Amino acid sequence: MKRFAAALAALVVFSAPVQAATEDVTDHVSNFTLDNGLEVVVIEDHRAPVVVHMLWYRAGSADEPVGQSGVAHFLEHLLFKGTDTLAPGEFSATVAQNGGSDNAFTSFDYTAYFQRVAADRLELMMRMESDRMVNIRLSEEDIATERDVILEERNQRVENSASALFREQKRAVQYLNHRYGVPIIGWRHEMESLDRADALSFYETYYSPNNAILVVAGDVTPDEVRALADRYYGVIPANPDLPKERLRSQEPPQTAARRLTFADPRVAQPYVSRSYLAPERNAGNQKEAAALRILADLLGGGQTAVLAEKLQFDTQTAVYAGAFYNGQSLDATTFDMVVVPTPGVSLQEAEEAMDRVLADFLTEGVDPAHLERIKTQIRAAEIYARDDVQGLANRYGRALTQGLTVADVQAWPEILQAVTAEDVMEAARKVLNPKTSVTGWLMAEEG
């Protein structure tokens, strides 16, 4: 099964190297659009003879028709079946034979396919990837086999995990109307009915050059990529029936705090989780999202964050406390917090302690020294991230499928550095609104 896995790494920051490294943090990026509407982004890095080839479609689970949850992820699996020229499984086998690796992943707003190979194999990757953009061939046997695969994946990743089931239910409560409340993998009863017509309908609607972004990163030049992209992708006609806008059901005003209790005997460590509806990053307007990103780090970004200091160390109420915000979303996202109580501390006591910390923070404001430390850490992370070519390709592809531009991605680090304490507090007062919140308790049993 083709899935994408991402890992977060701890970062130790030393002030002197960071200051020395801040002189040039510009990505070497070129971008252009083919006549058929395919957007192309080239990220040059000539330090190793390796290239990452990624094809992103502006189509994810939130673009699915009502009643067909899971079809975007289902189709992702099916693209590793045959085409007019490739037998089932031949795509990945060819990549492996050429010393590379490949994978794919689906999210709410996009589906992406990628290969990491030696730079001189780029043409082969383009030939195969462009082939399955238009020439997929699916048998009823393929459909039945992969439907069983995704159902088993749901068993393993969701049904067998009390925490995953809790998060799924909580997200469904957070979004009253938007498709972000539907799991990417799909609801089981709808997955069971997915068929060949469903998969082909999604494929024929969204898999076209004018709905795709090609990102090539590594030991390449823009001229080389343009020539190959013209040869393999440029000959594919645009889809004239592609929807002009990504029309989705939108959220009504959220006017009441909601609560969720999820009890499961498999729970070894109960915890409190809260989410608030929050604005996303928008093209040309990322200031509020930047403030929320820094707010998450200030409140729950590590051992020196406010929640950790107050709950883990000062009162020893919790063994862990964190806050999270990912603004890269086409529509409204969430700002999240979690508190894992110390043994002997009830979930009610943990929640009340979290609320006291938030209330104090909204009253006392931001510690200027803490804000500067966060900015230094962010700057360091941005610098070191440029050593990860695949991570850069992922960053640009994800951004462009979610409504941002190359210029927005490149401006983001400096927008973060420009955030003030006042910006953070303004964002906090707006987003930490009980009326848009969902508070969940995950516990081993009722009571």
Active site positions, annotated:
76
Sequence-ordered alpha helix ranges (H) in 176-320: 188-191, 196-206, 222-232, 287-300, 306-307
How far is residue 51's CA from residue 388's CA, in Å, rounded to a whole number?
Answer: 11
- Spatial neighbors of 166 by CB under 8 A, at least 6 apart, are 260, 262, 264, 273, 440, 442
Q: Are strands 212-218 and 39-44 parallel, antiparallel or unpaired?
A: parallel
Q: How many CB atoms lie within 10 A of CB 259?
A: 12
How far is residue 131's CA from residue 94's CA, in Å, rounded to a whole number?
Answer: 14
260, containing H or E segment? strand 258-263
Q: What DSSP character marks residue 211? A: G
Considering only CA atoms, give the Rg of the chain.
Answer: 23
What residues form DSSP beta bridges with 50? 118
- Spatial neighbors of 24 by CB under 8 A, at least 6 apart, are none
Sequence-ordered alpha helix ranges (H) in 38-195: 71-78, 90-97, 122-134, 140-154, 162-174, 188-191
Starting at the edge strand found earlier in the chain, the sheet holding 437-443 runs: 258-263, 437-443, 271-278, 333-341, 318-325
Q: How many CB atoms lie within 10 A of CB 360?
A: 12
Chain centroid to CA 439: 22
Take residue 4 and report the two structure tokens written for it: 């994408």
